[in-house]
Amino acid sequence: MPSRPLENGGRGLEIAGATPLSTDQHFKDALSVSTNSIQSLAESLSELELPQVRAAILESNDRCNLVNPEGMHRAKDVYDILPPETLDHILTCLDRGALFNCVTLSKQWSRRVIPHLWRSPWMSYYNAWVKLVRTLAITSEKTHHVILQQHPSEPTLSERDDSQSPCLPSTVTGAKTSPYSQFVLLLDFSSLYYIVSDAFLSQLLSFTPNLSEIVVNSPKQFSDDSLLLLGKCCPQLRKLELPGCTRITDKGFFFILDHCSHLVSIGLSNGTRISDRSIQKMAHMFSGQLQSFNVSNAALVTGLDPGLTTLAIWCRNLVSVNMANCQLVRDPLLGHFSDSLLELNIAHCLEVTDKGMVALAEACPRLRVLDMTACSLVTDQGVYTIGQSCQGLRRLVLDDRYGRVTEEVLVQFPSWGKEVLQRRRELGWKSGSSRV
């Protein structure tokens, strides 16, 4: 890689380091040629020109990131060029396979890649999870880990800077923690129902003290015991989704409420045995911070006070509520919600009438999504009121098998994406005019 004679005012040396060199030998060759040309150049310049050219060369050197021409001459690792947040940005674009290839590049790269790799472990085979837990157990036995001792000059690694340190003290369970455990933030078991059980979780959760989000869907076995464990081990929990966990009761949930003070989103749908007592306690304790709540198909939850009415009155920052198929959801409840509400699902709440729609329209004008499947008492009048008041509404879900809502009112609001289920057509349902 020969150097060019200086054509453009001292920039000729840029070529020596501007492109990455694949072998040291090439680099050395280029460098010796460059060094020679520096010498011959210096000899040929006048007194006046020399300082300027020297300055240009030095600047050029800096931009090539050469340390010095004589000694170690590696170009800079991109890790040292880019700030940490951009490196993280790049790493978030990578899939797990690519991240794994990055984890052994060098020690500092490892430290930056590992939080990404461990943030949300997901494997479809039970044995893989067993291996994961075993790794966490083994590494927690070590007092010194080859790469995970925090380098003093590095900023803290994970997203949750306030709670991080490389070797966490023993948790409340008394177990030592693995250096990797601080990075596990999200566990999504929604399609891994066959893996989840109290026994499995009791091994895993002791190693995930910073867990922020967990989803467990219709698990093989999940009882209040696991909720107790979750409360003890994972106090940082923000999102708790437990659809289909049919064995959990108020007892377990109370424990969670007492120990996880950062909860923002809770889902207890599809057959859980949570009752109004839990709703009431939750509404009182998390009134300011609860944003999302899903209790659809929970047979013991009612729309009364205590119950969902308490929820609506107390929690003034709710953004998304799903109470499909809940008992005793009546019109006054809909008027109690705060105007922060953007999404509401009242499918199969059969007692809701136009009055409820009016109350809702007044209370929640910022509504964007409304699911009123099978709310058969609601007529065009109710839908119209909603449409007039909620200018931002973008999705209205109806199943008009038994309903009274006609096309006439729906066409008045072209900005709605309407999801009217197929059955409507299959039953040969005719447009509103014939019903008058």
Residues that bind other proteins (CB under 8 A): 18-20, 22, 63-64, 74-79, 81-83, 85-86, 89-107, 109-110, 114, 117-118, 120-125, 128-129, 131-132, 135, 139, 146-147, 180, 188, 190-192
The least CB distance from residue 244 to other proteins, in Å, is 16
Structure tokens belonging to residue 418 = 């309407």
Residue 120 or 338 having the CB closest to other proteins: 120
Residue 140 or 345 having the CB closest to other proteins: 140
The least CB distance from residue 76 to other proteins, in Å, is 6
Alpha-carbon span 359 to 389, nearest angstrom: 11
Alpha-carbon span 356 to 381, nearest angstrom: 11
Alpha-carbon span 203 to 277, nearest angstrom: 30
The least CB distance from residue 166 to other proteins, in Å, is 15
The least CB distance from residue 109 to other proteins, in Å, is 7
Helix-strand-coil split of the chain, %, nearest 5: 40, 10, 50
The least CB distance from residue 159 to other proteins, in Å, is 15
Alpha-carbon span 115 to 434, nearest angstrom: 63
The least CB distance from residue 401 to other proteins, in Å, is 30
**Cβ distance 335 to 311 under 8 Å?**
no
**Cβ distance 249 to 274 under 8 Å?**
yes
Residue 211 or 279 having the CB closest to other proteins: 211
- Would you tell me the crossing angle of helices 380-389 and 354-363 to the nearest 10 degrees? 0
Structure tokens belonging to residue 19 = 């492109």
Structure tokens belonging to residue 397 = 């879900």
Residue 68 or 433 having the CB closest to other proteins: 68
Residue 21 or 357 having the CB closest to other proteins: 21
Alpha-carbon span 84 to 216, nearest angstrom: 33
Residue 148 or 386 having the CB closest to other proteins: 148
Residue 5 or 83 having the CB closest to other proteins: 83
The least CB distance from residue 305 to other proteins, in Å, is 38
Residue 42 or 98 having the CB closest to other proteins: 98
Alpha-carbon span 263 to 55, nearest angstrom: 58
**Cβ distance 244 to 218 under 8 Å?**
yes
The least CB distance from residue 190 to other proteins, in Å, is 7
DSSP string, 126-165: HHHHHHHHHHHHHHHH-S--TTTSPPTTSPP-SS-GGG--
Q: Name which of 21, 57, 52 is nearest 37 in CA terms.
A: 57
**Cβ distance 324 to 350 under 8 Å?**
no
The least CB distance from residue 238 to other proteins, in Å, is 18
Residue 167 or 350 having the CB closest to other proteins: 167
Residue-level length of the chain: 436
Within 8 A by CB and 6+ apart from 27, the residues are 21, 73
